[in-house]
Amino acid sequence: MIIFVLLGSSFLVASAIALAWDVIQAMDGGNFVLTPLGKTWFDLDSSSLNFSQAIIQRYTFPEIWDPGIITILNWPTVFVLFGTGVILLLIAGILGMGKRSKH
């Protein structure tokens, strides 16, 4: 359960960092734009993005990548990270409630 709390909290912190980055970019250029996850991933480590695409398209169904993952990569980074963090914390809460009810 603690792993879900740690991961969820980490995703929420990363979400705040992504939002701060977008705000800083807006202050620099005067335009506020929420950066898509795909651009963030590409900027951080383009080779792992390309590798992920190749593996998913070759060894699973190509439709998982396009339109599936492509759709998520077009969503704003801040929303994807925040949503993932909330889901992980909800899972931690559900698992924690299950533990409490057994005692």
CA dist., res. 11 & res. 21, Å (int): 15
- Give the pLDDT confidence score for residue 29 in this predicted structure: 82
Residues 15 and 99: beta-carbon distance below 8 Å: no
Tokens of 33: 């734009």
Ramachandran angles phi, psi of 62, nearest 5°: -55, -25
Over the stretch 6-21, which tens digit does the pLDDT of each residue have? 999 999 999 999 999 9
* Angle, alpha carbons 53-57-59 (nearest 5°): 115
- Give the pLDDT confidence score for residue 101 in this predicted structure: 55
Cis peptide before 67 (omega within 30 of 0): yes
Ranges of the chain with pLDDT below 50: none
- Give the pLDDT confidence score for residue 97 in this predicted structure: 76
